[in-house]
Structure 1
């Protein structure tokens, strides 16, 4: 049995102090993994429904075999693992700006780390997703011309509540158009958000993509009682994407 509380890692990063903590849930006795940026909670293994739904909803309408998928934001790995659980996925590129987070997975400090790091279909890339999405050099440094069937993004709290000010440009029509260049014809962009559906962002998606939808994902919240919700936006590039 693990300790009641343990700080597994703490690092100074370009965006602030990041820490990985493990605590024992008082009711279930299970281990809960948490990531904090300074004093702010970024993610918890207690709430993963939205991260899993990001992959499931993003991949739902794609072809039956041979999917190439990119994930922006590794975190605790739940979106990446949900993508790999889909047998249609042949290649997964996961991009994270923090080498420390990738290291947690490679060292097996988080529950899904060993599975992700050892899956031959999955490659963990240290890079700035937002800079890569804005450029023409591609999202996979080893294959700069590769375009993806799906790009799944979970980094910021929402399009309005970003971790770094420069991220905000991606959520505008020009940023979305640049990102769409990394999709195959008929490809999908999907985004996780902690906020309710945002009409302004939906309007930006509609301006760029052939179709878009905002899915509200509800889940039990044992800390506050009742339910909480995330939003997963799914936008299709359309057959004419280039």
Structure 2
């Protein structure tokens, strides 16, 4: 069954043949609800309109959650292979006896964070997201992974810009400036060269990555998700900052395009 919309009031009912009801959300946006589609939330933000949507595939019956910012689809629960791989590839680089303090940049639907929490070696997880609304969705339990992430005592959700926090002299943990981490995982932009905001490009340079490295423990891992195949130029940039760097392809079948999708995870070690 599709999730209930807790906040809102019915303001009109369309003919039954349309199976559609319109809700007025507390943020003055009308949400359309049908048998196969629900706009769970709509929020205006400085970066554009942010929407959380639920839909059901009428053929397979699969329930799909999507986050959209302006014209960009940030994430869909239909394709999560590489988001999970971001965590598993990075954490598998550590020995079995090392306890891990982890940062995830980009909460989204929660798949990277949940995959990190599945690793018993993780003793703390900071999840940083620039969109307060996304954090509120999880705190309100609107997404399938929300309760598992929020209720885990190892988790802290932090509202802020990952890219600002990664700069030299700044900190990911506002309660403990100077704290260092074993693993920092980032899934915000589409790729190192296709960013959501032009200002983000600075991070993917030697100077930007050098600031990040200052917050990492010896032997620490930085891992980056990309919607594109590996870019050798960025792998080389990583090698100019870290002792080792590589890119791993993540392949999966895309039934919508009827072909194999190729995404990537970059891994760099201090």
TM-score (norm 2): 0.86
Are residue 129 (structure 1) and residue 165 (structure 2) matched? no
Partner of residue 240, structure 1 = none
Q: Distance in 1 between matches of 2:168 and 2:135?
A: 23
Are residue 60 (structure 1) and residue 92 (structure 2) matched? yes
Q: Deviations over 1:172-225 (max 9, x none)?
A: 011111110110011000000011111111110011111111000011211111
SS in 2 for 1:134: coil
Are residue 198 (structure 1) and residue 231 (structure 2) matched? yes
Q: Distance in 1 between matches of 2:168 and 2:174?
A: 12
Q: Distance in 2 between matches of 1:131 and 1:231?
A: 24
After superposition, the Cα gap between the structure-2 partners of 1:45 and 1:136, relative to the gap in structure 1 and judged at 3 Å, is same
Q: Distance in 1 between matches of 2:73 and 2:160?
A: 22
Q: Distance in 2 between matches of 1:161 and 1:197?
A: 13
Q: Distance in 1 between matches of 2:59 and 2:269?
A: 42
**Structure 1 stretches of 5 or more lacking a match?**
238-242
Partner of residue 166, structure 1 = 199
Deviates further, 56-65 or 86-95: 56-65
- Following superposition, which runs of at least 4 residues in structure 1 exceed 2 angstroms of deviation? none
Partner of residue 183, structure 1 = 216
Q: Distance in 1 between matches of 2:145 and 2:243?
A: 35
Are residue 13 (structure 1) and residue 61 (structure 2) matched? no
Partner of residue 247, structure 2 = 214
SS in 2 for 1:56: helix
Q: Following TM superposition, by how much is the alpha carbon of 1:96 offset from its aligned partner in structure 2, in angstroms?
A: 0.2
Matches within 5 A, 1:1-242: 1-2=1-2, 3-63=35-95, 64-237=97-270
Q: CA RMSD in A?
A: 1.0
Q: Determine if contact 1:7/1:21 at 8 Å carries over to the other structure.
A: yes
Q: Distance in 1 between matches of 2:41 and 2:168?
A: 33
Looking at CA atoms only, which structure, 1 or 2, has the larger radius of gyration?
2
Q: Determine if contact 2:101/2:125 at 8 Å carries over to the other structure.
A: yes
Name the structure, 1 or 2, with higher relative contact order (CA <8 Å, separation 6+): 1
**Structure 2 stretches of 5 or more lacking a match?**
3-34
Deviates further, 67-76 or 142-151: 142-151
Q: Distance in 1 between matches of 2:93 and 2:239?
A: 18
